[in-house]
Amino acid sequence: MKGNNVQSNPTTATATIPNHTMPEYSADTGATSANLDPVKMVLAGPVSVRSMSDEELERRFAATFGELSFEERHDALHDIHGVADPIEETQDLVATCLERLDREILSMNNKAAYEIARSKSPEYVTAVDFRMKFLRAEQFDVTKAATRLLLHFEKKLELFGEEVVGRDVRWSDLSTEDIAVLQSGYIRLLPLRDRAGRLVLFHARSLCPYMTISTRLRVAWFFIQLASQDLATQRKGLVALYWLLGSRHAASDLTSFHLGRNAAAIVAPYFSVYPVRMAAIHLCFNESSFRYVFNFGTMVIERTTRVRCKAHIGTMQEVMYFLMSYGIPKAILPIDEDTGKVETEDFRSWLSSLQEYEKDGDAMDLDTPDGTCSLSHQIIEIPGENDVLLGRGKIVEGSTGNLLLKKIIGKNSVRYEKASRFEKMAVSQAVYLRMKKGGSRFLKREGTYWVEVDESVAREKIAHGFRNYKARGGNNATAQVLPSLSS
């Protein structure tokens, strides 16, 4: 869905949350009364997705694209490559959808968990910022957003209980096993965004190959909740990256009852209840046996998420180059390119700081005015997509904000070189003001976080960029971005 058109979903008719009652499935025709819903097929009985051959699973996955409309295929491909345009959120659109969302929720059945959460904390449940997450996750389809919101509380109640359902999940709500998995680095938000400005949720199976499904779900919930505080991720979606290189899985385990039926029944529905949508899911592996995991996994999640899944198989370097073609630069991956090992030192330092901030009562204050993830307005956890980073290294050089600054410097280098010393200062000032007007901040690293620097430091960064541009032979640009220094 594009623009500011809201799908016309009647608000007077009663809508009911799906109750997961499974239909009969025919192995001969592949038909079900649920229109080939793969999750329902898995749970239907002895003859199901878990008993299909790898070839049949791959064929059915490929057939999914043929079932999509042109617009659905267009949206999926743009999401995967990070070039989708967020919906323009006009004041009228937001007000209309929020009003309709209230009516839609009231008309729905099966909302016991929602009512429990509302009784615990009506301010939390009815907050505009909270409800907007679900509208954005469903591209302002009001009925789907209401369904996602009610199922969100249902699954949250199952995972964390009544005491937590009406508020954000905290570190102290996690079990000893949850925290052990958390500290292993198995799942984390990467320190920088992809080229589209989206957060990346990174999974490294080799760091914690064995855990219960409930622990996996609770830890994933903790981080996805953190990501959902980010306005850019709400609008553009979250990218999930499963790094399976270095992991091993016996082929005999891949068809087990536990991995098949239970994983499908418990894990798959969660993609449809988080307060952010999955814009793309990348599975990276170097063993052909994991192809079955991909084929099986994609067939037990709902269709709109399934078509946003990509499998990448090859060596470490090959997989990294595959990811680069989807806007995920090597610089942001926590992988030692010499050894192939997943790095955890910086992540564990960040995690310790996060725990300390929660003890001080600040841990979940992540919603900053510009939509970036931050533990306070001074300490920035994950830079925004337009933020300029000071320092050296592949992470700094590969950030989207630094690339934007290089582009502006390139387009204004001729003016800078022809300017007097005083005029050079004015050009740097003009670039600084233009970047700030576009929402950029100039940040430096302090420990595991980022802090904003003074204007004088930022201007020196810009001047240094002009000098480097000249030293590298860039002298053919024209002044297109700053037609006048007073603009």
- Cα–Cα dist 233/199, whole Å: 6
Whole domain around residue 467: which residue ranges? 386-471
- Cα–Cα dist 443/64, whole Å: 44
The pLDDT score that the predictor gives to residue 299 is 67
The pLDDT score that the predictor gives to residue 192 is 85
Q: Are residues 178 and 299 in the same domain?
A: yes
CB 23 within 8 A of CB 32: yes
Residue 343 sits in a domain whose CATH number is: 3.40.525.10
Q: Residue 339 burial by CB count (10 A; 0-12/13-18/19+): exposed, middle or buried?
A: exposed
Q: Are residues 272 and 207 in the same domain?
A: yes
Quick check: is 86 in a domain? no
Amino acid at 62: A
Per-residue pLDDT of the chain (487 residues; tens, 9 = 90+): 444 444 433 333 333 333 333 333 232 333 333 333 333 433 333 335 555 565 666 677 677 777 778 888 888 889 999 888 889 999 999 999 999 999 999 999 889 999 999 999 999 999 999 999 999 999 999 999 999 999 999 999 999 999 999 999 999 899 999 999 999 999 999 988 898 889 999 999 888 877 888 898 999 999 999 999 998 899 999 999 999 887 665 444 444 434 444 555 567 778 899 999 999 999 898 876 666 666 666 666 777 888 888 889 889 999 999 999 999 988 889 998 888 899 888 888 888 877 777 766 554 334 343 444 444 345 677 888 889 999 887 777 778 888 889 999 988 888 888 888 888 888 888 898 888 888 899 998 887 678 888 888 998 999 988 988 877 766 544 444 444 433 3
The pLDDT score that the predictor gives to residue 351 is 83
- Cα–Cα dist 176/218, whole Å: 12
Q: Is the pTM of this model over 0.85?
A: no
- Cα–Cα dist 481/466, whole Å: 14
Q: Are residues 180 and 285 in the same domain?
A: yes
Place of tokens 């302090």: 446
Domain boundary among 335, 353, 371: 353
Q: Are residues 299 and 401 in the same domain?
A: no
Q: Are residues 305 and 441 in the same domain?
A: no
Q: Are residues 324 and 404 in the same domain?
A: no
Quick check: is 406 in a domain? yes
- Cα–Cα dist 254/252, whole Å: 6
Q: Are residues 286 and 430 in the same domain?
A: no
Amino acid at 180: A
Element (H, E) at 298: helix 290-299
Q: Are residues 282 and 341 in the same domain?
A: yes
Element (H, E) at 382: strand 380-382
Quick check: is 318 in a domain? yes
Q: Are residues 333 and 439 in the same domain?
A: no
Quick check: is 347 in a domain? yes
Quick check: is 74 in a domain? no
Structural domain count, the chain? 2
Quick check: is 141 in a domain? no
The pLDDT score that the predictor gives to residue 423 is 86
Quick check: is 37 in a domain? no
Q: Are residues 303 and 390 in the same domain?
A: no
Instruction: Indicate left, alpha or beta for 110 from its phi (over 0: left) and psi (-120 to 50: alpha).
Output: left
Q: Are residues 338 and 392 in the same domain?
A: no
Quick check: is 262 in a domain? yes
The pLDDT score that the predictor gives to residue 367 is 37
Q: Are residues 400 and 463 in the same domain?
A: yes
- Coil, strand or helix at 300: coil
